[in-house]
Chain A
Amino acid sequence: MTAIQFNNVSKTYGQGLKKQKVLHDLSLSIMTGEVFGFLGPNGAGKSTTIKLLLNFIRPDQGDIHVKQCRVGKDNYLHHIGYLPETPCFYENLTASEIMYFSGKISGLKQDQLKEQTQDILKRLKLDHAQSWQIGTYSKGMKQRLGLALALVHDPEIYILDEPMSGLDPMGRYLITDVILELKQRGKTVFFSSHILSDVEKLCNRIAILNKGKHLFSGAIDEILPQYGSNLEHAFMNIIQTDDRGKNG
């Protein structure tokens, strides 16, 4: 079954002279229970795609489906746990307050919520800081709190925009571990990342995007012998071939 489906999605930013097409006719499907890596150089349009998926912005063309629901028409957000690229919080609140808010607004019951919050914060090594105001958190702590918020209501689909950014090796390990556990429990994870070793470890399939164009999608072992000896080489090759093709 498909968890997320993009059909011929295009997106343009700006108007008039500043008009810039950042997504060209993207079609992609992500199956239920899959960990899907979304790769591409800076400015490729990864975050844009994710924002389209969450209905923060609307596509010029095409449609997006999450499970059976059409984005922009039906209510589907209760299925989704989202981690933004740079998570921003209300800085005068504490971690446990924001966790309480997020769980409650996603429809969790009080007692369920308490347990869940404790477990998740402990897991992400934030339990010692749960009564601190978020303004005092470091970047990595905020990132982990962002992930905690995506996990709190135990959704089926996780959409993570660069979950590893700003984390120390320990934090990266923690998050990899969390994603692996989600994979075992049959959840769907769609995440963008620049850290190819993590992608290699975690993903069933990947997609590569360059300048808004979808270049490749498939399993990692489909890409490897054909384009390069490891994922990093393969990624470079694909992007460079595409760039050369455009210039030449």
Chain B
Amino acid sequence: MDKIRLIAWITFKDCIRNKALYGIFFMGLILFSANIIITGMFTWELGKVAVDMGLSIISFSGLIIIFFLCLPILGNDIEKKTVYLILSRPVTKAHYIIGKYMGLGLIIMISSVFLGLCAALSVKISVMGAGTFIPPHFSWGMFTLSICYLTLSLLILLSLAFFWVCTSTHHFTAVLLTIMTYFICHNMENVKNIILSTKIMSSDSLSIKVINAVTWILPNLTAFDLKTTAAYGLPVNTLSLSWLLIYGVSYSVVCIMLTVLIFQKRELS
């Protein structure tokens, strides 16, 4: 456990000093300013747009951090042989993967907290400006909750990225595969809805069931998107949210376990 903590610690420290991270934060800030200005153009439903935009910005920045920071860091480790530094010590490959995941996961969480605060601020400012319409059931609790779920979905994507980096021989392939998974994840739900709306198939036909299963196996990242719920202040279903939490956590755990298994077989030449 100590070893995992040490590995997580150096990963985190190395990443937090990376200039690219500040670039991403800076971009987030610019987008938030844009958020305030743009929402100023809507005369009504201003709060809703601000919330929706704020959450999108956090999610977008998170994706950039995963693709342009975490993936290259992990890929470099394996390609430039920085792993030798760690694996020539008395640690197992499992320690390495888990430590690395925790270090980078922490970066994502911190970025969500930081950008979440900025988002909250931008929502406050844009709502304050006009004394406008605020959705009747809007609550900061719901806002925070949706940021948490968004972060969880980013952590799932990170575990998938780990999986692809450790299975593919080149880190660019891993980037492509991760992007592909991400896109498929996000469009499965749409595909299903389109098929359902055409009424060619009933909702309990076999193919719909297969699509459903695939959606959850690929991780169903859309399920973690509570933007609309937060923006419209819709009522939340506690039970389904708890299930979602369990699903998200176990998905990442299983994914990291598989990564460890594959990484143990892999030669680092």
Contacts and interface: CB of A to CB of B under 8 A. Distances in A.
B93 to A, nearest CB: 10
A78 B88 CA distance: 9
Given A51-B269, A90-B13, A107-B90, 11 more contacts: A77-B88, A86-B81, A87-B85, A88-B81, A90-B10, A90-B14, A93-B17, A97-B10, A101-B9, A105-B86, A105-B89
A94 to B, nearest CB: 9
A104 B85 CA distance: 13
A98 B89 CA distance: 13
Nearest to B76: A88
Nearest to B80: A88
Interface string B194-230: 0000000000000000000000000000000000000
A189 interface: no
A84 B84 contact: yes
Contacts of A241: none
Which 4 A-B pairs have CB atoms at the shortest separation, nearest pair first?
A92-B17, A90-B14, A82-B88, A57-B267
Contacts of B17: 92-93, 133
A143 to B, nearest CB: 14
Nearest to A146: B85
A35 interface: no
B10 A98 contact: yes
B91 A105 contact: yes
Interface in B1-45: 3, 6-7, 9-11, 13-15, 17-18
A56 B268 CA distance: 5
Contacts of A149: 85
Interface residues of A, number: 31
A88 B18 contact: no
A149 to B, nearest CB: 7
B81 A80 contact: no
Nearest to B95: A105
B168 interface: no
A89 B268 contact: no
Contacts of B80: 88
Given A92-B13, A92-B18, A133-B17, A54 B88 contact: yes
Interface string B179-206: 0000000000000000000000000000
A61 to B, nearest CB: 15
Given A13-B269, A90-B14, A105 B6 contact: yes
B15 to A, nearest CB: 8
B68 to A, nearest CB: 16
A106 B13 CA distance: 19
A84 B90 contact: no
A184 interface: no
25 contacts: A48-B269, A56-B267, A77-B90, A84-B81, A84-B85, A84-B88, A88-B84, A89-B85, A90-B10, A90-B13, A90-B14, A90-B85, A92-B13, A92-B17, A93-B10, A93-B17, A97-B10, A101-B9, A101-B10, A102-B89, A104-B6, A105-B3, A105-B7, A106-B89, A106-B90
